[in-house]
Amino acid sequence: MDEFLPGEVWLVGAGPGDPDLLTRKAERLLRGASVVFYDALVGPGVLALIPEHVRRVPVGKRSGRHSKDQGTIDALLVEATLDGEKVVRLKGGDPSVFGRSTEEITALAAVGVRARICPGITAASAAAASAGISLSLRGLARRVQFVTAHVRAGEKLALDWAALADPAATTAFYMGRGAAGEISRQLVAAGLDRATPVLIACDISLPGERLLHTRLDLLPIAAAAIAEDKPTLLLVGAAVASTGGQSAAMLAERAQ
């Protein structure tokens, strides 16, 4: 890795929360930083890797509870960089997957600073690994779709439901707890089978992780029962069924 110089900024993926899933490069950057601006979804085990002498600044945003708006976060990054700090912007999952990275990169570029990205494991991959399933499956899931179900208060979840209701895809709905009912209704209305398998994943990779297999028409009830107020990912599609490797392979062969 190049030397971490004063006035540099790295957008670092913290992964799903388990510090063992952090990349080696991300850990080196945390140890070389002088200040770390971190999200609310960053796991406590990852934060524990930050040396005591490194300044920590929480800039977390959770649904309905925003401690800092995006403009304020951008301004903090610019200020720290121009002050000659070695800046890490620590984001849950992967910075390039619904991580608002473009806004921060643009704000820094406006003052002549190039931000670099250290990728992390995204929640959909981590949830599939925890459940022992695959996001893709020959004959059943030929593509994977990542969708954010988060909207501002009062806004409608305006998605291309016809495109998302693809029986040959696995669709990951990030921040899906509050929209579970809408997702279920719209996908069924767009033609997706009511019995389509769904995996609900909360607190992925953390000690309190909860996984629940259900079906599309039962998703609102299941999500209300398991998710509570936890960060929640929904995986929808035939490939996420809790069938086990051999049975899944048999299903794939029959689907060909």
Query: How many other C-beta atoms are found inside a 10 Å radius of the C-beta of residue 250?
Result: 12
Annotated catalytic residue 74: no
Identify the CA nearest to 179 among candidates 145, 149, 222.
149
* Residues in contact with 246: Cβ distance below 8 Å, sequence separation at least 6, in sequence order: none
According to DSSP, the residues that pair with 61 across neighbouring strands are 66
Query: How many other C-beta atoms are found inside a 10 Å radius of the C-beta of residue 255?
Result: 14
Question: Within a 13 Å sphere around the CA of 2, how many CA atoms are in the beta-carbon half?
Answer: 9
Residue from 61, 68, 193, 230 carrying the catalytic annotation: 61
Contact of 74 with 44, CB cutoff 8 Å: no
Please give the C-alpha separations between residue 192 and each of 161, 167, 217, in angstroms, as whole numbers: 10, 6, 10
Annotated catalytic residue 86: no
Distance CA 183, CA 252 (A): 26
Annotated catalytic residue 1: no
According to DSSP, the residues that pair with 148 across neighbouring strands are 174
Residue from 39, 94, 166, 203 carrying the catalytic annotation: 39
Q: In the chain, count H helices and then E strands.
A: 9, 12
Residue from 18, 94, 166, 175 carrying the catalytic annotation: 175
Identify the CA nearest to 40 among candidates 18, 63, 59.
59
Distance CA 58, CA 36 (A): 8
Q: What is the DSSP letter of 241?
A: S
Residues acting as catalytic residues:
39, 61, 175
